[in-house]
Structure 1
């Protein structure tokens, strides 16, 4: 955009010296000089790139200088080739008026923004008709460029063709918009430029803007539709370089500016905004250049495994509570946010400009709509505006009021007023933060009835949110370096508030039926909104963010105007916001002790209702696909059991009554086959009847009955289980040691991940094991052949037709990027969580067949697994097992526990698998 002056240019490439060397080679070797010329230029290209890489290493944030240097290097190579071909290969002789040629740089090359492995986008322009001489020169140049190993995007057109194709194709029009003269006939370039603006651009401005914005929206959707996605695409992602390019393209198309700096002169950007534009652009260009150098290819995605390397190259270092990579990514997202703010203001200006033009035409020419006034603000065309430039300076509380009114009235904020808010956000000092009216307005906005998510995001973009709630400012653009969280902490929080608002409005009843009812039974709706705002407020400080966050809540809630009772509730919710999900996903909900312990911590129905809602929005706001019906069912089961215990002070029904009630429900499921209950119920233990849902029991009874009838020692049933968004795999077999780990191995061999497992043994010695499985992307298996593959693999594993260990070791890791993370393997024993069982939780790097290896280690440690609960948090797995020793007792002896821990840690790390991963 703005051609950057390259210092010590001849250290990058010396065109004059190289030109002399080419002439000497031609003199010495004549027509045979071509290979030597290619070698000479290839060496110059490599040396130039090495010099630019060295400069970037010395000044790792010098994005413009690096991109400009790459462009300068290619320019000189192109000029040398052109001059050599014109002088020595195809000299024109007496040139006709048609034998003219100009070389234009277009696209990123035209902008002088090249990364080390960017494509070289060239347009060859010729007069009215192409001559054989022009075609020979173009062809010769392209062959030279290809021989140099450059990836060339090229077009060759006459002036008429250029005009015609640019009118028809948005991509061609944008490429030519960035057209820059490189070498050749300057008059021809000037004529092409004049015709482009006169015959293509003139009169098509509105159409171009709408098409460009539609293209941008489609690109954002493709890239995750958030500038806070934790593996961003530096070039095409939201808030990335392409968004800055779009601003420039639109400004240039409408105002015919030559550089981004000219956008200030035409009033589209202020000087301060332009400086922000350049800073963000330079940083992102530097990041992109580092990515290309590290990978030695055109890589624009900042993946987890590359983030650490780029952070190190750009001299970011660890700080207490925040690693170097998290600090680097936080800075990256601050730049992306800056780009987002610029985009919003810029496009609103463009929109307004076009709206004014529309108003001046036709019947309404000269008519100006009168602005209405709302609480001292002007409102016109659905936008709220500050009436004067010093509006916020006179009373900084208005910075909060502006956004509260916008939310309450359903208004957008005028771009000039957004600019003012951003400019004046620094006026929010301690006095404003303590102001009761300012806090009441903020609370009204946070718990707004229209769209608090959108307006809080605007408030965050303007920098007002972080100034008014400095603790929130600390998590602004704060990344969580793991594969579980998809967004930065501030974006996750704002999304969670939006989900809470949607649940309250009844928009998510299908996915969250309980929460949609419970939210209208809370004693304080504002307390739950504040709890969602603060639940992750202490991330990145070091220490337990739940405990530290509760301390923040105890300070902030009274400031916001919450009562002592509300403050206590919010602080408890923040401290315990992970309690419900940890219990539901890692503990056996049929074990009475699980419910007793959970209720012992919750202690009241009001806390339980709030915690249920907070847990649901927290999980769902982690990222797409994180919430599913299986998680909803487990949380619902825990809620119902805890709610009954809290409401009545005891469990309403004893064990016998619960079993009888379950049998009645199963009878309704079985309909005509309800006689199976009387026939087989005595074989199944009470624990089985309580543990399994009625629909699964009905399936198991039919399968069990058929297996006995056919005298089968093994029966495997696979089917899509819609209630939990997974595939149900039921295995009925004569029980024997090692059955569980072999079944798990067979399921893994079929390419499936186990997300839950319930293991039962009948009184007559049959194993009834139910597994819920999904594919590696978290979806159920539907297809008949997929289900058959699982059935066959389990059968082969149980019949010893395959050797599990070597077969499983061959399976590749589905997520190789997980190697970018340090996962500490831990084994935790809990003999208090259950009255009957020892509970073992294993935290380890998630990988294929982990459950099989852990189950085998338990089997070899002479333990019986009664149930398993599998939870994945991105790259980390947390697998919980309820076990007894062979006599049915808990495991308590310290030496025994140490031996089990050692076996499980070895299974989790598995040296053979580690070797295969590094191979």
Structure 2
């Protein structure tokens, strides 16, 4: 086929192109636009003047005007069929060969509009390229008609093509990984890269859904700028940002160093990834809604749709159409805890937070006071303890800027790379992943709240110069105090962060048979409770680092070290006796009322904690400053079924138990004297009569607290058998049960018999996911086992219930070992069934 000579034009274009790319201007939109204009002018000259029935069209990246130094030219020679084949071939050669002569890659085709539409229908990638079609030369009406037809067909076929596009995005992510976590990322193909940006444009063009616009264009520009600098630095048409090229690319972009470059790349990828998550979720919602309306029209023979149910999740938070959103009555401008409450509720339910919700919370919610109120700390721990479901909720908060508002020091680790191939994640994501791993270990420790917060903060020092463990301990202490932990807990968190590498480094690098090694570790750790937390943190940290960081061998060495250090700490510690409980005037009055009436007497304190309230005093490992919300004191003569009845009534009234204690309160001696009052049939403990005193710290799941008279009336009905608590709880659970797969993951309940608990009773320890009716199920199981609960110490730490029950057998003695073990297994079955 003959070629039309055009040697001068290619040389002029090549010279101008080289001058533009090698000039002083840094990569950016203006340089890409100028390169596109220069290329447009050259190709239009190759095409020739006006030519009816034929047009030269740019598609794909070139159609968007995003030519990089080594970009392909995506060109379509469009014709209406009136031009002869020989003439078309000559025209094509006149354009294609000069491009090839310059060594520029070319993706080209010659098609009629009908052929272009047919190919687009058959090949999704072709259709995506045509969505960005741009006229270069020839008959503009031909290009315009094709664009109109392609867009119309894309919108008409969107319900079918968008799921196909989503699947392509997922397959590409599986092959190339997550851009923001790769040390050598592919800027185009990895998840959060330029291909995903193109996919989001295609979704927007369908008019079916749209991506969140904030920050999206800047993220795309950042990746394009980096790719431009990369291709100029290497002279190759690649998109992979290799380690060996990062310093040069950073310098060409005027950045401080390669880490600064990677942080910018990761920030851009994070924005694109989150936008993709939101957009594809919206696409799914719209498509489900269309399908549902079609089914409804088929059933009813009329237009319309079913009203979407809004299921309460927490105060001010509801589930709607598979997402967590604010209730219509929510007032974020008056509720500084609402962002954390909404995030915790969403994560615990395994639901995403809607984009409008997080943005409204970020804009309207006032800042939390410092230190945080107890409720905020509780919700923060619940968020961290939700397992894998924490991640998308945390990402949504990150995108809206809520995380940095809550934890200002977080900004130093956000998107910070870790130049260690052992690490899978950036620093910030590694911290979240460690909390996810720690959530599966919360049944092993007495203080799951401290474990989860330590997991989130253990590498916080990597955003600062110096030893990250030393620096991080100081930052962690400051942040823990900000969150509202008591001074003793702040010290524990500081120790955990300072020594989070101690166990694994000592176990793998030191002689454990040397007493000095073990004694040194014990001195640094200081207390058995801290050792228990540190062991769990060590495992969570290693599992969140990557597959090479933890093994059975490492785990065995750490376990050996923990056993030796624990022996040292146990031998050096003396058990201090607990202060005897002193009843207040109020509790004595309640006890006498219950004794004289034979029924329950109760009082509900709301707001500030009443003077003399005992709270969770004496509870093993219970934190100070538990969220009060309200304190409920209940006194009643001992009789079968008391504990499950009270726990069940509280659950029916949607009261969340934050902390609780059960005691037997001796009555004054005068009640046994003539006329002193003999209405009750209370049990005698020791030398005198007593009644049961239950002290509860409760909070309403949502709405207002119930009236005390209603609580008392329902408690009387439950004790008399007129109110079937189990049936009512079962009905409510069935009514609000979410579809399978929609709840957050949680480790199974763990029930153990304390090895050294008490000489007077068997101590049963229950660690489980907090849930409505949990304490009722525990109490009912203990009641059916015919054991006596001498005392109970209940605390809720985030989403974890950590309870201890002191039980005895019929003779008032501790249970035999076999019976205690069987009781523990029965409780586990009751909580997991």
Partner residue, 2:339: 399
2-side partners of 1:238 and 1:193: how far apart?
28
For residues 679-698 of structure 1, the aligned pairs below 5 Å read: none
Per-residue Cα deviation, 1:273-324 (whole angstroms, up to 9, x for no partner): 535222222222111111111111122222322222222222223xxxxxx3
| Contact in 1 for aligned 2:192/2:270 (Cα 8 Å) | yes
Per-residue Cα deviation, 1:31-68 (whole angstroms, up to 9, x for no partner): 9983xx436523432432332442533xx5xx222222
Per-residue Cα deviation, 1:747-771 (whole angstroms, up to 9, x for no partner): xxxxxxxxxxxxxxxxxxxxxxxxx
The 3 A distance-change label for structure 1 pair 126 and 33 is: closer
Per-residue Cα deviation, 1:756-794 (whole angstroms, up to 9, x for no partner): xxxxxxxxxxxxxxxxxxxxxxxxxxxxxxxxxxxxxxx
Q: CA deviation at 1:647?
A: 5.7
2-side partners of 1:119 and 1:126: how far apart?
22
Partner residue, 1:336: 269
**Does 2:359 correspond to 1:429?**
no
1-side partners of 2:481 and 2:407: how far apart?
13
1-side partners of 2:138 and 2:215: how far apart?
36
Partner residue, 1:417: 357
State which of 396, 420, 428 in structure 2 corresponds to 1:458: 396
The 3 A distance-change label for structure 1 pair 227 and 423 is: farther
**Does 2:20 correspond to 1:51?**
yes
Worse-matched range after superposition: 443-452 or 546-555: 443-452
Partner residue, 2:77: 124
**Does 2:121 correspond to 1:152?**
no
The DSSP-based 3-state class of the residue aligned with 2:92 is: helix
State which of 81, 87, 91 in structure 1 corresponds to 2:46: 81
**Does 2:284 correspond to 1:351?**
yes
The DSSP-based 3-state class of the residue aligned with 1:384 is: strand
For residues 402-551 of structure 1, the aligned pairs below 5 Å read: 402-424=342-364, 427-429=365-367, 431=369, 434-448=372-386, 451-501=389-439, 503-504=440-441, 519-551=442-474
| Contact in 1 for aligned 2:337/2:368 (Cα 8 Å) | no
| Contact in 1 for aligned 2:384/2:452 (Cα 8 Å) | yes
For residues 126-145 of structure 1, the aligned pairs below 5 Å read: 126-128=79-81, 131-145=85-99
Per-residue Cα deviation, 1:375-405 (whole angstroms, up to 9, x for no partner): 2334322222224598323333212221011
For residues 555-634 of structure 1, the aligned pairs below 5 Å read: 555-589=478-512, 594-634=517-557
Q: CA deviation at 1:242?
A: 2.0
1-side partners of 2:362 and 2:176: how far apart?
27
Q: CA deviation at 1:108?
A: 0.9
| Contact in 2 for aligned 1:67/1:112 (Cα 8 Å) | yes
2-side partners of 1:195 and 1:189: how far apart?
10
Partner residue, 1:68: 33
Q: Say how many residue pairs are matched.
A: 564
Normalising by structure 1, report the TM-score.
0.57
The DSSP-based 3-state class of the residue aligned with 1:227 is: helix
The 3 A distance-change label for structure 1 pair 362 and 125 is: same
State which of 234, 249, 260 in structure 1 corresponds to 2:202: 249
Worse-matched range after superposition: 600-609 or 132-141: 600-609
2-side partners of 1:633 and 1:485: how far apart?
22
Partner residue, 1:238: 191
**Does 2:125 correspond to 1:176?**
no
2-side partners of 1:626 and 1:174: how far apart?
42
Partner residue, 2:166: 213
For residues 650-665 of structure 1, the aligned pairs below 5 Å read: none
The DSSP-based 3-state class of the residue aligned with 1:231 is: coil
The 3 A distance-change label for structure 1 pair 438 and 644 is: closer
Instruction: Pick 1 or 2: higher relative contact order, CA cutoff 8 A, min separation 6.
Output: 2
Partner residue, 1:42: 11
1-side partners of 2:556 and 2:90: how far apart?
70
For residues 700-849 of structure 1, the aligned pairs below 5 Å read: none
Q: CA deviation at 1:498?
A: 1.2
Let me know the Cα RMSD of the aligned residues: 3.0
2-side partners of 1:135 and 1:423: how far apart?
60
2-side partners of 1:620 and 1:48: how far apart?
50
Q: CA deviation at 1:428?
A: 4.9
The 3 A distance-change label for structure 1 pair 531 and 192 is: same
Partner residue, 2:142: 188
| Contact in 2 for aligned 1:126/1:158 (Cα 8 Å) | yes
The DSSP-based 3-state class of the residue aligned with 1:196 is: helix
For residues 844-883 of structure 1, the aligned pairs below 5 Å read: none
Worse-matched range after superposition: 283-292 or 583-592: 583-592
1-side partners of 2:426 and 2:555: how far apart?
24
**Does 2:247 correspond to 1:314?**
no
The DSSP-based 3-state class of the residue aligned with 1:354 is: helix
Higher helix share: 1
| Contact in 2 for aligned 1:38/1:147 (Cα 8 Å) | no
Worse-matched range after superposition: 592-601 or 492-501: 592-601
Per-residue Cα deviation, 1:803-851 (whole angstroms, up to 9, x for no partner): xxxxxxxxxxxxxxxxxxxxxxxxxxxxxxxxxxxxxxxxxxxxxxxxx
| Contact in 2 for aligned 1:433/1:468 (Cα 8 Å) | no
2-side partners of 1:132 and 1:348: how far apart?
50
Q: CA deviation at 1:539?
A: 1.3
**Does 2:210 correspond to 1:268?**
yes
**Does 2:258 correspond to 1:325?**
yes
Partner residue, 2:223: 284
Per-residue Cα deviation, 1:832-879 (whole angstroms, up to 9, x for no partner): xxxxxxxxxxxxxxxxxxxxxxxxxxxxxxxxxxxxxxxxxxxxxxxx
| Contact in 1 for aligned 2:384/2:436 (Cα 8 Å) | no
1-side partners of 2:280 and 2:201: how far apart?
11
2-side partners of 1:145 and 1:603: how far apart?
73
1-side partners of 2:196 and 2:67: how far apart?
16
Partner residue, 2:54: 101
2-side partners of 1:40 and 1:363: how far apart?
64
Q: CA deviation at 1:339?
A: 2.2
| Contact in 2 for aligned 1:443/1:560 (Cα 8 Å) | no
Q: CA deviation at 1:469?
A: 1.1
Normalising by structure 2, report the TM-score.
0.63
| Contact in 2 for aligned 1:535/1:546 (Cα 8 Å) | yes
2-side partners of 1:406 and 1:343: how far apart?
19
Partner residue, 1:167: 121
| Contact in 2 for aligned 1:453/1:494 (Cα 8 Å) | yes
Partner residue, 1:376: 316
| Contact in 2 for aligned 1:233/1:300 (Cα 8 Å) | yes
Partner residue, 1:385: 325
Partner residue, 1:706: none
